Amino acid sequence: MVSALLYAFYGDDFTGSTDVLEQLAEGGVPAVLFLRQPDAALRARFPQVRAIGIAGDSRSRAPDWMEQHLPDAFAALGDAATVHYKTCSTFDSSPHTGSIGRALDIGRACFGGSAAAIVVGAPHLRRYVAFGNLFAAAGAEIYRIDRHPTMSRHPVTPMREADLIRHLADQTDARIVLVPLDRIQAGEADAAWREAESEADAVLFDGVSMADLAATGAVLLAHRVRFAVGSSGVTRALVLGWRDAGLIDSVTLAVRASASERLLVVSGSCSPVTARQIIRSSANGYVALEADVPALLRGEDAEESRLVETACSTLAEGGNCIVHSAQGPLGEGATAAGDRLGAALGRVAAAAIRRTGLRRLLFAGGDTSSHGVAELGIDALTWAAPIESGAPLVRAHATDPVVDRLELVLKGGQIGGEDFFETVRLGG
C-alpha cells in the first residue's frame, strides 16, 4: 500500500526546515513542520497534509547525541514514501559537530534498502555542485565553498574541503559514488545510478540547474529511494519528479503577506550579510541592542532583563527593534556557543512577545533559530507566504493563545539583501 505521505524530513536546524516548507508550498504540497516529535494527537491536527517534517538541532550536536535521538525521529517519519535528512545547503559539518556522515549512517541503518541519495545542489539558493565540488554565492560572486568568505570561517564548522565525498570521508566509512554533471546533462542519470548503486552505500548527485534537479528527482522516484541526505535541493528534485509523474498538481500555494506595524529581530548570526542588514536597518530607524554575550552565557538575569525591557519599550512605542550578539565574524579565539546563546535570545523574544502582543518575529542565524524558537512553546509551523527564497514567512501553531498564529521568519546568516529586515516587516 502506498503511503498517503509523499515525503517526510528531519531538519538539522530550524532555518533549513522552513526552507523545505517553502519548496513544498511552491510545489502545491500542503505540509506541516513539527517542533517536537509528533504523537498521534498532534499529527491528527493536520489531517490534510501530504508531507511532514521535524525541526531539529542536530547541526549543533555531537555524534553521540545523534545516535541517541535520530533513530526515534526517523521512526516517527517512517510512514512516508521518502525520508530526507535535511542539511544546510552549505553542507558545513565536522566529525565532532553536526556530522552529516553520522546522520547518513544512522539513516541507512534505519531504512535499509538500496543506496541512499545525496543531493546538495540548490540552484534556487545559488548553491551548485559540479563534479562533486560545492560552490555557493556570497553577494554577487560564486565561491568554491572552501574559499567562501563566510563558510570557510564558520565559527563552529568551517568548510575547508569543497569535494563533498572527501568532506564526508572524515565523518563516515560509507562508500559514496558520484553521478557527475556530464552524465546528468547527457540524459544518463538513471544509468549512472544503476551503475553506482551496485557498489555504493550512497550516491551523490551533481546539480547546477533545475533541469539537473528534475533528472535527479526522476531517478529518486523511479528507484523508490527511501532515504536521502542533503539540502532543499532534495525537496525541489522530488517536487519536480512528482509533477512529471502526475502525483501533484502544478498549483503553487501563493499568497502575499500583509505588513506588520512592528518587528522584533533576534540575531545570533556572525555573517557579514546579517551585519550589513543590522547596519542598514539601524540607519533606517530600527533600535539595535547589542547583547553582552559573556553575561548571557553566564546566565546573568540582569542582562536578559535589560534586553527585554529595552525591546519592550521600543515595541510599545511602535518602533522596530534588533537584539543581536555580533556584527560580522567573531574574532580569532572567540568561543562559539550557539546553543546557550540561542536559548538566551529565545527567552528574550518570548518575554517580549508576552508583554507586547507582538505578532511578527525574525530570527537570524541557524543555531539562534533552532535554540531560540524552542523557547517559545510552539508545537508546529506551517507555510504562510513567500518573503525571499530560503526564508519564507511561517505561522506558529500552539496551545498557548499568546503564541498561536505568531508569524515568524527564520533566516540563515547568508540570506537576504541589506533591506531584508524591512522586507520582512512589510511582508515581502
Please answer whether residues 42 and 106 qualify as being in contact, where contact means their C-beta atoms are separated by less than 8 angstroms: no
Q: Which of 421, 387, 427 is nearest to 286 (CA)?
A: 421
pLDDT-derived band at 332 (thresholds 50, 70, 90) equals low
pLDDT value for 2? 36
Nearest alpha-carbon partner for 179 in 166, 168, 188? 188
Task: Write the CB contacts of 203 (distance below 8 Å, at least 6 apart in sequence).
Answer: 115, 116, 117, 118, 176, 177, 178, 179, 193, 196, 197
Closest by CA to 128, choosing from 209, 188, 247, is 209
For residue 171, what are the contacts with CB-CB under 8 A and spacing of at least 6? 93, 94, 95, 99, 100, 101, 102, 104
Does residue 180 register a pLDDT over 60? yes
pLDDT-derived band at 3 (thresholds 50, 70, 90) equals very low
Q: 328 or 23: whose pLDDT is higher?
A: 23
Please state whether 132 falls in left (phi above 0), alpha (psi between -120 and 50) or beta.
left
Contact 29, 239 (CB under 8 A): yes
The residue type at 274: T
Q: Is 187 left (phi over 0), alpha (psi -120 to 50) or beta?
A: left
Distances (CA, A) of 394 to 117, 220, 250, 390: 28, 28, 21, 12
Measured over the CA atoms of residue 143, residue 149, residue 155 and residue 161, the dihedral's sign is positive
Amino acid identity at 291:
A
- Nearest partner of 164 among 212, 229, 85, 84, judged by Cα: 229
Alpha-carbon distance of 175 to 21, in angstroms, equals: 31
CB atoms closer than 10 angstroms to residue 153 = 14
> Helix, strand, coil proportions of the chain in percent (round to 5)?
40, 20, 40
Q: Where are the beta strands (DSSP E) in 255-371?
A: 264-267, 287-290, 321-324, 360-364
Q: Per residue in 234-275, pLDDT tens?
A: 999 999 999 999 999 877 666 789 999 999 999 999 889 999
> Residue 107's closest CA among 242, 12, 33?
12
Residue given cell 547525541 in the structure block: 65
pTM for this prediction = 0.91
Say if residue 224 is exposed, middle or buried (CB neighbours under 10 Å; 0-12, 13-18, 19+).
Answer: exposed
Q: What is the distance between the alpha carbons of residues 214 and 226, in angstroms, rounded to a whole number?
A: 18
Task: Categorize the per-residue pLDDT at 414 as very low, low, confident or very high, splitting at 50, 70 and 90.
Answer: confident
Report pLDDT digits (tens) over 189-232.
999 999 999 899 999 999 999 999 999 999 999 999 999 999 99
Question: Is the separation of the CB atoms in 233 and 89 below 8 Å?
Answer: yes
Q: How far apart are CA 108 and CA 104, in angstroms?
A: 6
Distances in Å between the Cα of 45 and the Cα atoms of 36, 230, 380, 399 are 14, 28, 10, 12
Q: What mean pLDDT is predicted for residues 335-345? A: 80
- What lies within 8 Å, CB to CB, of 163 at 6+ separation is 132, 133
Give the confidence band of 313 by pLDDT, cuts at 50, 70, 90.
Answer: very high
Q: In DSSP terms, which residues pair with 9 in a beta bridge? A: 53, 84
Note whether 364 and 388 are within 8 A (CB). Answer: no
From the CB of residue 397, how many other CB atoms can be counted at a distance below 10 Å? 21
Q: Is the pLDDT of residue 333 over 80?
A: no
pLDDT, one tens digit per residue, over 353-405 is 999 999 999 999 877 888 899 999 999 999 999 999 889 999 999 999 999 99
Cα separation, 208 vs 191, in Å, equals 19
> Whose grid coordinates read 527564520?
410
Return the ∠ at Cα 376 (arms to 371 and 380), rounded to 5°.
Answer: 90
